[in-house]
């Protein structure tokens, strides 16, 4: 005698599967990664993507500014050593565009501390080499903290 096994009992309910698809399609936020080192930008894209964020990469200051003014991003990760512009110039132009867009600096050395002390400076920094968990915690924190409007 053959026993019929009802496999529907063992599979995920349709409502749960549909809800999972909706959650997966709704990113936690859109992040502009401004990094000229392909290895680092790829690492950031993979990690942030796996953590639920949507990312786009710009490898120059000019490209970053062109993308940032589209208004599609919730946060900018800005490398302090870009090939075409200083991070300070990029930051100043970003602040002219939007004083409320959070900017987190990726830096080696003291540069980010100096940029945070500038009026309208960076909202945070992570020193290279950094732990991805440390960066992720800072990104989540900055996305939840509303930046005051410029005076």
Can you give the residue ranges of every domain in the chain?
28-144
pLDDT value for 1? 45
CATH-assigned architecture of domain 28-144: 3-Layer(aba) Sandwich (3.40)
3-state DSSP assignment of residue 59 = coil
* Residue of 83 and 2 predicted with greater confidence: 83
Is residue 44 scored above 50 in pLDDT?
Answer: yes
- % of the chain exceeding 90 in pLDDT: 53
Q: What's the chain's length in residues? A: 151
The residue-averaged pLDDT of 97-113 equals 79
**How far is 63 from 85, CA to CA, in rounded Å?**
11
3-state DSSP assignment of residue 28 = coil
The residue-averaged pLDDT of 26-31 equals 83
Is residue 43 scored above 90 in pLDDT?
Answer: yes
Q: Which of 101, 145, 146 is nearest to 120 (CA)?
A: 101
44 touches 33 (CB < 8 A): yes
């Amino acid at each position: 005698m053959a026993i019929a096994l009802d496999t529907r009992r063992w599979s995920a309910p349709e409502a749960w599967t549909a809800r999972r698809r909706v959650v997966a399609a709704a990113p936690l936020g859109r992040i502009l990664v401004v990094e000229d080192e392909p290895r680092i930008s790829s690492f950031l894209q993979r990690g942030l993507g796996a953590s639920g964020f949507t990312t786009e990469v710009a490898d120059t200051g000019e490209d970053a500014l062109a993308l940032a003014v589209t208004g599609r991003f919730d946060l900018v990760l800005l490398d302090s050593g870009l090939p075409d512009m200083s991070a300070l110039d990029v930051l100043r132009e970003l602040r002219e565009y939007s004083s409320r867009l959070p900017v987190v600096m990726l830096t080696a050395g003291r540069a980010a501390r100096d940029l945070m002390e500038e009026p309208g400076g960076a909202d945070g920094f992570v020193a290279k080499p950094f732990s991805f968990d440390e960066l992720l915690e800072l990104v989540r924190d900055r996305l939840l903290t509303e930046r005051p409007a410029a005076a």
